[in-house]
Amino acid sequence: MKRFLRDLSAATASLTALVLMESFTGITLESLKHRWVHHPEFLAMLPALMDFRGNVALAHSARTATATHLGDEERALQSSLAVLLIGLMVPPVIGSVVYYAYGGDLSTLVGTAFLTVLSVTAVVTPVTVGIVRMAAMLGFDPDHVAPPLTTALSDVLTVAFLFTIAEVMVG
């Protein structure tokens, strides 16, 4: 029963952090949308990038937690490398699809998508490993802690990086 309550408190804290970070994501997007009304292609790209990056963060945190449970550091490293590679392959496709649906400049959309996901991946990947290791060190089940935190962080950073990079690319 004690273990159950400990896991429940860890999961509750993680989910609370998720709600707060996701709320911050919405507030950030709301404050930026007026700037991007004239570039709807970036607003259209955001859900695909957030979903993709969030799913990758979720898969990475689960695989890293499993490797930690098994004591297999090499597998955790391989998982991190796989995440980085996936992060390099899919964003150009997202940018291209948005270009064909909305127009705009193909190289700007592909470049923005690529740099956004690469930037988010560069931050979230080591943070995920750190969260999993810290949760395990503190005696919490990383599967209850890491997924909500890493997916929420990924969403917040995707919004911030997408519009920062788009601002630089568009001018």
pLDDT tens per residue across span 126-171: 999 899 999 989 888 888 888 888 998 999 999 999 999 999 999 7
The pLDDT, as a whole number, for residue 114 is: 96
Q: Are 113 and 165 in contact (CB under 8 A)?
A: no
Range of the domain at 116: 2-170
120: pLDDT confidence band, cut at 50, 70 and 90? very high
Return the CATH number at 108: 1.10.357.20
Q: Are 45 and 94 in contact (CB under 8 A)?
A: yes
Residue 24 is encoded by which pair of tokens?
């911050």
Each residue's pLDDT tens digit, 3-28: 777 777 766 777 777 677 777 777 87
Domains contained in the chain, number = 1
Q: Rounded to two decimals, what is the model's pTM?
A: 0.85
